[in-house]
């Protein structure tokens, strides 16, 4: 599976130093995608964040983290959402191809194809696809990258609602802006763009002033995940032919040998079955 590095695909640039934690993105996402509210409790998860995790009803969420800076308590935020990988693991493992990386950028899900095997959930390195556990015949739910809006030239709901932190545009431009910010304010940022190489590159890029692992970012491989399975799967046709061919040849030889032995035996009128000698 070749990496899908389209420099013009739309990409989120999320600058967590500019995030105020207003959760306008969370609300806009619920509104645009018509997602039900969840009944939650304060402090039900790791900290102030609410709901405690992304779910079938919550495609994006702001995680809160409190830390000390110059002796004062400060908050750091992390917007959790689908990373819209250039080479998505979910799309590669789905037996019916229900996921697709669109040229516009978003990784979309075709519910009409899905058989509900949940392999995408096992495969996703970011733990994004969620399941409709409450239903008898459940489907997978995840951030759509607001494909319906992006197709019509609009920005995604969360990027539209965000007053400060989210830029949205072609990937090459977003990478350029991110690099400029890192170069202009080396004191303000950790020198890393998360998503530039993670999982082979994603359509969501993050900048932050706190170490990424402290915010709960996963340390994922830089190699596109579909490569890991493809390096084994590419041998499938060859191994099918090799095993089939070897066994066919082997059977032909063995059966021919026996046929010849039987012919000899009958011509000599001797009655000694070959197989008894073997033991």
Partner 1 sequence: MTATQRVVKEVKAYHWFIKFMIFLVALGAAAAVTRFIFGLGATTNLDDTYPWGLWVSFDVVTAVPLAAGAFTLGAITHCFHIKKLEPLVRPAIVTGFLGYSLVCVGLLLDLGQPHKGWHVLRYWNLHSPMFEVSMCVMAYTTVLFLEFLSPVAEKFGWNIPLRILRWLEMPLVILAASISTLHQSSLGTFFLIAVDKLHNLWYNPLLPLLFYVSAICTGMCIIIVEATATHKWMGQPNEGPLLRTLAKILPWTLSLYIGLRIYSLVVLSERPLFDNGILTILFYTEFILGFVLPCCMFMFKDVRNSDTLRVTAALLVVCGLILNRFNVSMFGMMDASHVYYPSLIESLVTIGIITAHILFFVLIAKYFPIFEHHPETVDYSIPDSFGKINPDKPKGASQSEAVTSIS
Which residues bind to partner 1, rule: CB under 8 A?
Answer: 1, 53-55, 89, 92-98, 113-119, 121-123, 125, 127, 130-140, 218-221, 225-226, 228-233, 236, 239-240, 243-244, 247-248, 250-251, 254-255, 258-259, 262, 275, 278-279
For the CB of residue 91, give the shortest distance to partner 1 in the complex, in Å: 8
For the CB of residue 201, give the shortest distance to partner 1 in the complex, in Å: 16
Determine the Cα–Cα distance for residues 28 and 147; give it in Å rounded to an integer. Answer: 15
Determine the Cα–Cα distance for residues 60 and 29; give it in Å rounded to an integer. Answer: 7
Minimum CB distance to partner 1 smaller for 152 or for 276: 276
Q: Which residues pair with 194 in a beta bridge?
A: 206
> Residue 171: which region, alpha, beta or left (left: phi > 0; alpha: psi -120 to 50)?
alpha
* Pairing status of strand 99-101 against strand 72-80: unpaired
Inter-CA distances, 118 with 60, 139, 189, 262, Å: 20, 9, 37, 56
Q: How many CB atoms lie within 10 A of CB 215?
A: 21
Minimum CB distance to partner 1 smaller for 152 or for 275: 275
Inter-CA distances, 161 with 24, 86, 129, Å: 6, 25, 23
Minimum CB distance to partner 1 smaller for 70 or for 133: 133
Minimum CB distance to partner 1 smaller for 162 or for 220: 220
For the CB of residue 259, give the shortest distance to partner 1 in the complex, in Å: 6
For the CB of residue 228, give the shortest distance to partner 1 in the complex, in Å: 5
Minimum CB distance to partner 1 smaller for 164 or for 248: 248
For the CB of residue 39, give the shortest distance to partner 1 in the complex, in Å: 15
């Amino acid at each position: 599976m070749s990496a899908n590095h389209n420099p013009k695909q739309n990409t989120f640039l999320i600058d967590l130093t500019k995030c105020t934690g207003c959760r306008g993105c969370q609300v806009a996402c619920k509104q645009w995608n018509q997602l039900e509210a969840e009944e939650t409790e304060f402090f039900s998860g790791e900290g102030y964040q609410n709901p405690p995790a992304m779910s079938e009803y919550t495609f994006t969420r702001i995680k809160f983290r409190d830390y000390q800076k110059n002796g004062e308590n400060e908050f750091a935020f992390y917007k959790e959402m689908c990373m819209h990988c250039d080479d998505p693991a979910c799309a590669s493992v789905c037996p019916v191809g229900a996921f697709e990386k669109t040229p516009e950028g978003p990784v979309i899900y075709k519910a009409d194809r899905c058989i509900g095997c949940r392999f995408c959930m096992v495969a996703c390195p970011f733990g994004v696809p969620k399941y409709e556990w409450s239903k008898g015949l459940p489907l997978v739910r995840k951030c759509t990258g607001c494909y319906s809006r992006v197709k019509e030239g609009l920005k995604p709901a969360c990027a539209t609602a965000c007053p400060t932190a989210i830029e949205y545009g072609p990937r090459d431009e977003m990478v350029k802006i991110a690099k400029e910010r890192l170069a202009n304010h080396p004191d303000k940022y950790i020198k890393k763009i998360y998503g530039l190489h993670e999982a082979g590159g994603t359509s969501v890029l993050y900048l932050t002033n706190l170490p990424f692992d402290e915010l709960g970012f996963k340390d994922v491989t830089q190699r596109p995940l579909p490569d890991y399975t493809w390096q084994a799967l590419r041998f499938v046709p060859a191994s099918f032919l090799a095993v089939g061919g070897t066994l066919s040849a082997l059977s032909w030889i063995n059966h021919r040998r026996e046929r010849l032995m039987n012919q000899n035996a009958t011509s000599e009128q001797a009655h000694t079955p070959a197989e008894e000698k073997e033991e």
